[in-house]
Each structure stands twice: as structure tokens, then as C-alpha cells.
């Protein structure tokens, strides 16, 4: 049960999202926070569970390579609310395709790397066999 009314300081949010406080402020400047962060009497940022959730989504999007401007676009759409679902869906689908493609690329790279590793391993196996004076017919 995530209590929707408990609030956090920027430091706590940093701890919970894995982002640095610098990055949190940076993201806010870049306009990728769901709603403008509230402030307490002293002017410091006050975050809610909602913000954490949104930030976690942002982290996922960034980790999977979505550029900041595109996250901003998504955020703007979400802020606008009703009527933007189509564009949001399109944006996510596009990203989905890119990530899928990238995974494919990485797999192809991995195959070659695995192959190269195999060559080196063979090299050492061979050396060992010779060292042991094995009986290769």
C-alpha cells in the first residue's frame, strides 16, 4: 500500500529512484516531471508517491534509450490528459520497436563476440593439450 499522501524530500527521492539530486533537478528543468513539483514553506521541493512512480517510468524510458526530448513530449501529452492517448500509444509503440531492434542488434553483436571468445578458448585448450602431451591421433 503506497500511501499517496506521504511526501518526500529530494534526497529521499534520490535514494529511492537511484537518480542523483542533481539529476532530479535537471529532469525537472527539462520538463519531464508529471506535474510541477510542489514546494514547502521554505521553497524546497516536496515529492509524492506519484512523482516516484513517474520517475520510475522515466528511468525505464531513459535506460532503454529514449532521448530526454521524447520523454518530455510524452510528459506533455500526459499532462494534457484526455484526447492524447492515441499519440501517447503511438510514441510508446515506436519506442517499443526501437528497443526490440536494439536487442536484436545486441544479440547479433553478442554472437560474434561469443564466436571470438570461442577462438581464444580453443587456442588455450590446444595449448593445454600440447602441454599435457595428449594422444591426439
Partner DNA sequence: CTAGGAGCTCGACTCGACTCTAGATCAAGC
Partner DNA sequence: GCTTGATCTAGAGTCGAGTCGAGCTCCTAG
CA torsion angle 44 50 51 57 (round to 10): 170
**Of the candidates 62, 73, 88, 95, which one interacts with DNA according to CB under 7 A?**
62
Smallest Cα–Cα separation from 76: which of 19, 36, 24? 36
**Of the candidates 50, 64, 69, 127, which one interacts with DNA according to CB under 7 A?**
69
Give min distance, CB of 90 to a copy of itself, in A.
9
> Is 40 among the residues that bind a copy of itself (CB under 8 A)?
no
Q: What are 129's three cell numbers?
A: 593439450
Residues 6+ apart with CB under 8 A from 22: none
**Of the candidates 50, 64, 125, 130, which one interacts with a copy of itself according to CB under 8 A?**
64
> Is 15 among the residues that bind a copy of itself (CB under 8 A)?
no
Phi first, then psi: what are they for 33, rounded to 5°? -105, 135
Give min distance, CB of 53 to DNA, in A.
18
The option from a copy of itself, DNA, none interacting with 40 (CB < 5 to 8 A, set by class) reads DNA
Q: What is the rounded distance in angstroms from the CA atom of residue 4 to the CA atom of residue 2? A: 6
Q: What is the DSSP letter of 4?
A: T
Residues that bind a copy of itself (CB under 8 A): 57, 60-61, 63-64, 85-86, 88-89, 92-93, 95-96, 99-100, 102-103, 105-107, 109-110, 112-114, 116-117, 120-121, 123-124
Amino acid at each position: 500500500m503506497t500511501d499517496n499522501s506521504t511526501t518526500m524530500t529530494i534526497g529521499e527521492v534520490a535514494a529511492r529512484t537511484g537518480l542523483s539530486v542533481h539529476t532530479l533537478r535537471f529532469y525537472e528543468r527539462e520538463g519531464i516531471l508529471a506535474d510541477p513539483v510542489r514546494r514547502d514553506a521554505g521553497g524546497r521541493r516536496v515529492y509524492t508517491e506519484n512523482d516516484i512512480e513517474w520517475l520510475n517510468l522515466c528511468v525505464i524510458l531513459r535506460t532503454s534509450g529514449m532521448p530526454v526530448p521524447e520523454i518530455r513530449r510524452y510528459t506533455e501529452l500526459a499532462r494534457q490528459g484526455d484526447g492524447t492517448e492515441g499519440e501517447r500509444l503511438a510514441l510508446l509503440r515506436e519506442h517499443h520497436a526501437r528497443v526490440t531492434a536494439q536487442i536484436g542488434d545486441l544479440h547479433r553483436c553478442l554472437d560474434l563476440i561469443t564466436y571470438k571468445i570461442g577462438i581464444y578458448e580453443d587456442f588455450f585448450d590446444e595449448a593445454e593439450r600440447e602441454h599435457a602431451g595428449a594422444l591426439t591421433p
